[in-house]
Amino acid sequence: MEKPVSAFSRVRRRPQRGIYQREVIEAILDAAPFCHLGHIVQGRPVVIPTLHWRLGRNVYWHGNSASRMLKTNAAGGEVCLTASLFDGWVLARSGFNHSANYRSVMCFGIGRALQDPAEKAEAMAGFMEKRFPGRWSRLRPATLQELKATSVLTMPIDEASAKVRTGPPHDEPEDLAWPIWAGVLPVRLSSGGPEPAPDLPPAILEPPPAPP
């Protein structure tokens, strides 16, 4: 059973753009290549860009165990994880009606640090499989020292909301005859061609597939 939307996570500005269905929230988290993590450090707000991934009903992020951010997260402080996708510029007949098409998610909660090395390895395997299916099993296995030096945190996607804008500009009726182009300039995130490492043996020719 889905939890009711909290007053804190409910979209207030342009509430008609708020979406609370789990499948929409999860799809945006899966499509976004990275996120921004907001938290309080020594009484001051800090927002850090970092990589994230979703496994089931939880979102994960990771980094060096010495990271100030991750130490703060592991201590039980509340965090706000935001993932966004920019889909296009929206050009209207007036400056104040210009906008952007986008998909965004905000997740609120308290992160939990994974302590067991096997659980860390499983979570990291999930991250790799999300981006590069089949690659983890072909890599040199992670060492205990590498797992010790890496912090992995997770948070249930229990309090979250999405905000989405799509479609053409919304011009005032009296502006529709104004003689200037109006519409949407789409923006797409895409992967370029593979660039082999300079020390890659010539016999290894097959590049990995681009992330979805």
pLDDT mean values, one per 10 residues, the chain (212 residues): 66 74 93 93 90 95 81 82 96 96 95 92 94 91 91 92 94 95 94 86 75 64
Residue 60 lies in a domain: yes
What pTM did the predictor assign? 0.86
Where residue 149 sits, what CATH number does that domain have? 2.30.110.10
Residues in CB range of 181: below 8 A, 6 or more apart: 91
Give exposure, 68-88, as e/b (b: 16+ Cβ within 10 Å). ebbebbbeeeebbbbbbbebb
- Asked whether 82 and 105 are in contact (CB, 8 A), the reply is yes
Residue 142 lies in a domain: yes
Residue 43 lies in a domain: yes
Residue 9 lies in a domain: no
What domain count does the chain have? 1
Structure-block tokens of residue 48: 């850090």
**Strand order in 52-55's β-sheet?**
52-55, 58-64, 150-156, 112-113
Give the pLDDT of residue 11: 76
Cβ count near 177 (within 10 Å): 8
Provide DSSP, 108-140: EEE-EE--SHHHHHHHHHHHHHHHSTT-GGGSP
Q: State the DSSP H helix or E strand holding residue 40, giving kind and residue range, or none if neither.
A: strand 35-41
Q: Where in the sequence is the domain holding 107, given as residue range(s)?
A: 15-166
Give the pLDDT of residue 194: 84
Q: Which of 60, 56, 69 is nearest to 120 (CA)?
A: 60
Structure-block tokens of residue 205: 């020719």
Distance, in Å, from the CA atom of 113 to the CA atom of 74, rounded to the nearest integer, reads: 5
Residue 38 lies in a domain: yes
